[in-house]
Amino acid sequence: MKQSAPARALNGGPIAEEIRREVAEETARLWQEHQVKPCLAAVLVGDDPASAVYVRNKVRAFAELGLRSEHQALDSSTTTEQLVSLIRTLNARDDVDGILVQLPLPQGIDEATIIEAVDPLKDVDGFHPVNVGLLAMGRPRLVPCTPAGIIELLDRSGIAIEGAKACVIGRSQIVGRPVSQLLLQRDATVTICHSRTVDLAEVTRQADILVAAMGKPGFIKGEHIKPGATVVDVGINRITDVAQARSLFGSETDERIKAIERRGYTLVGDVHPAEADAVAGRRTPVPGGVGPLTVAMLLRNTVGSARRRRGL
């Protein structure tokens, strides 16, 4: 069964700008009333090009709002012990309010050890076990940025969460599990699906809100979607094949093929855009959907950390 009209785009850009304005106002108040300027320390280990772009974008976003940021770049030969030592130094600095260690880390560095080394009060990614535990207990303090951004997107777009059937595909600690907790705390009925789910489409077709976060390009198709559902696509996947682009993008095909010819790739989420648009009520595009909100929530987390650490 298909929709009579194509899905409307659920763009994150305008909402991210709204949040950034709110953060800018809060930052100005912090300075005027307390002479506090929040500061993020972003740590990049190794030379992964995508990670370098992500860190650069985050640092630029801080500068645009008048917040302070530091970029700590370490080479790929850095050991777990050396990285822990840097994090302890940042933990001890009173002028640093947030610490972000860009993931994934190079092979040989123990990711769990690094995450646990960050002061939970400065853990603006929301990955430390203390913050994960507080979220699970319904007492969220610092929440992972992408899940928090998804809730803001739904709220500010007028999409009801209370009483809705929500399905999250993916169980990562970065997106799947925390967004499930947030939806549950907002009184949605939540199902989590994963690679071992039997008859996935039968489960996902029940969802009023479908969140796809499994890292498989174009995997979620029309058969997986309830007519009129809201589809939140968290995936960011590069495709380089023109034939694959033709099969995915429908009316956007020419534009996407030009992107491949120009820069060697185009981006697609975990949702098949052409098929989803024939069934869903609303869908987040890739790029331009969830992505802008992730950075906006990092800004908000850092300002919140600055206030909380000082008891303001």
- Rounded Cα distance between 19 and 279, Å, is 30
Asked about 102 being catalytic, the answer comes back as yes
Residue with tokens 């600690």: 173
Report whether 188 contacts 209 (CB < 8 A): yes
Selecting among 97, 123, 125, 277, the annotated active-site residue is 125
Report whether 202 contacts 191 (CB < 8 A): no
Asked about 47 being catalytic, the answer comes back as no
Asked about 58 being catalytic, the answer comes back as yes
Residue with tokens 């050396």: 82
Tokens of residue 295, six digits: 């950075």
What are the backbone dihedrals phi and psi of residue 232, each rounded to the nearest 5 degrees, phi first? -105, 115
Q: Name the residue among 144, 135, 153, 126 with its Cα closest to residue 232.
A: 153
Amino acid at 284: T
Active site residues: 58, 102, 125
